[in-house]
Amino acid sequence: MMLRRAANIIWTNECPVCHKLLEWDELLCEDCSNKLDITDLKLCPICSKQTCLDHTALKFSRVYAQCLYEDSVVNAIYDLKNGLTLNLAEYAAAELCKQMKEDGTLRQIDIVTSVPMHFLKKQDKNINDADKMAKMFSRTLGKPCELKLLGKKRTGTAQHRLTAAERKLNAEKSFYILPKHKDITGKTLLLCDDVYTTGSTLNTCAGLLLEMGASEVICAVIATTRLEHERNKNTD
């Protein structure tokens, strides 16, 4: 099954959500791109949730999210994490860049970065989809990409197995500032990740970037859950 899907992806271009065949230059089929559109949901423009997170505790100024982490998107992100297809990440980057151009955020961004992954896990999976997102944003926005700002320790606990309070503690223990990092004083950073649930990971990383001197951190993710406590199956 896995092999057949991998072979399909090498030889053909298919929609990462419904697996319909696409033209070589398409990223998502039209039906799925309409279905994924979350503009009607009126999620909070700051925290991208239906029920807001505590805004006073947020270290980032806002989160841009392209779709909901629900239904077929869950599998599409699983495929993305396993390196089967990058279409969904590329699609999210292109669509979110359009939004950022329209609302003027694009002009503010100086550097694009990503939520780090432990280096062993990175080797395991051969990719870090947050890194790939960051590179796509960097290309689309025409802004430099800097991936050596933060590091991640191996805590042995996957975020998705924890409660919201435990996630916060675990995230705080997991990430650290890399020594000899590039000077980001006074810069506005765009921090990329694949899925956003409780916001603990983004908030911890944003906090560290501010500690390093960044003036503002804006986040971009492929998918958000409607509520902060919704279970996040494949991701940490």
Which positions lie near Zn ion, rule CB under 5 A?
15, 17-18, 29, 32, 44, 46-47, 52
Question: Of 19 and 152, which CB lies nearer to Zn ion in the complex structure?
Answer: 19
Residue 183 beta carbon to Zn ion: minimum distance, rounded to whole angstroms: 32
Give the nearest distance from C-beta 150 to Zn ion in angstroms.
24
> Which residues fall within 8 angstroms of residue 124, CB to CB, at 6 or more apart?
none
Q: Which residue, 71 or 211, is less far from Zn ion as judged by CB?
A: 71
Query: How many residues appear in the chain?
Result: 236
Kindly state the tokens that stand for 121: 């896990």
C-alpha–C-alpha distance, residues 181 and 179, integer Å: 5
Residue carrying the six token digits 């949730």: 49
Strands of 188-196's sheet, edge to edge? Answer: 62-68, 216-224, 188-196, 111-114
Least Cβ distance, residue 126 to Zn ion (angstroms): 25
Nearest distance in Å: CB 97, Zn ion: 21
CB of residue 128 vs Zn ion: minimum separation in angstroms? Answer: 25
Closest-CA residue to 115 (of 67, 171, 186): 171
Question: Which residues 6+ apart lie within 8 Å of 64 measured at CB?
Answer: 48, 96, 99, 100, 105, 218, 219, 220, 221
Tell how strand 188-196 and strand 62-68 pair up.
unpaired
Specify the residue, 17 or 111, whose C-beta has the smaller distance to Zn ion. 17
Task: State which residue, 59 or 187, has the beta carbon closest to Zn ion.
Answer: 59
In sign, the C-alpha dihedral spanning 33, 35, 36, 42 is positive
Cβ nearer to Zn ion, comparing 88 with 93: 88
Minimum distance, C-beta of residue 36 to Zn ion, in the bound complex (Å): 9
35 or 143, CB closer to Zn ion? 35
